[in-house]
A and B are shown apart, each in its own frame.
Chain A
């Protein structure tokens, strides 16, 4: 299936939960990989993913990448890049949440390899994942303050008595 056909199928199954389709310009490869569907209602992301995994004909068995974006307008986004190894098709989803209440349902129940990627999104961008089995920082130390990839992040002067700036 092409990813617009998958989007149409998703739209007919979920209705208003699924937002607009964003078609990217560029070559065939870029179009395939960076066009994405908005998921308007964040609380449904787990159900949407479960549907994509289990529906015959879709069978998305793999979460290629879960990444997070600071949009710079007080919102954060989480992007899901999904692939079906058996059906050989691909789709990307995106949810957007406000910066001061960044909570997204976890998809670790759907694909267990989302575990570390969600921990990374929490560590770097401060997005909390609901019902995640182990919501700790993954790269930085547990006593680190702040989430460094946010645009409003202030660099620390000292960390455990060590001077940080050059």
Chain B
């Protein structure tokens, strides 16, 4: 608004902000990481707790979306069974770039309590899709999840149009 008002002489009272294209894009991306509404097991309960008013993940610009095509970030919150792994991969492929994955909890990091006798559990979701941040715990507390989210934001902040990842 300020800029439109002063179209004749925009430099009159320092209404112009100059920034790099990278910084602007990264700032926009990291402040609106829309999340896919997607929960797999008990960890999803902690994810819901993080989304509720007490921890309020919305402060970080995270809004749950019902479709992978509108999401920037996928939270793998729980046990990835082999049956679900094929679906998880499909959902990942449906997300538009740039996309980020947080693997939440021991199950999706490495198989968790099912590492030995879980004939039906994928031992780590990174066997089918690339993971940006691993959050350890069984389940991780909402604070830990928010820390993971901040790590993703840091990663986004360091991106550049020239090279896509750090």
Contact = CB atoms under 8 A, between A and B. Distances in A.
Interface of A: 140-141, 148, 153, 155-156, 159-160, 162-166
Contacts of A159: 82
Nearest to A153: B119
A11 B86 CA distance: 52
B82 A166 contact: no
A136 to B, nearest CB: 14
Contacts of A163: 123, 127
Contacts of B122: 162, 164
Nearest to B117: A155
Contacts, number: 29
Given A162-B85, A164-B82, A148 B120 contact: yes
B55 interface: no
A153 B120 CA distance: 13
Interface residues of B, number: 14
A166 B116 contact: yes
A137 to B, nearest CB: 10
Pick the 8 closest A-B CB pairs, nearest first.
Answer: A166-B115, A166-B123, A159-B82, A155-B119, A141-B83, A148-B119, A162-B85, A166-B111
Contacts of B123: 163-166
Interface in B97-149: 110-111, 115-116, 119-120, 122-123, 127-128
Contacts of B119: 148, 153, 155-156, 164
Nearest to A141: B83
B92 to A, nearest CB: 14
A162 B127 contact: yes
Given A140-B120, A148-B120, A155-B119, A162 B128 contact: yes
A140 B127 contact: no
Contacts of B110: 166
B83 A140 contact: yes
15 contacts: A140-B83, A140-B120, A141-B82, A141-B83, A153-B119, A160-B86, A162-B82, A162-B85, A163-B123, A163-B127, A164-B82, A164-B119, A166-B110, A166-B115, A166-B123
Residue of A148, A159, A163 ringed by the most chain B CB atoms within 10 A = A159
Contacts of B116: 166
A160 B82 contact: yes
A163 B123 CA distance: 8
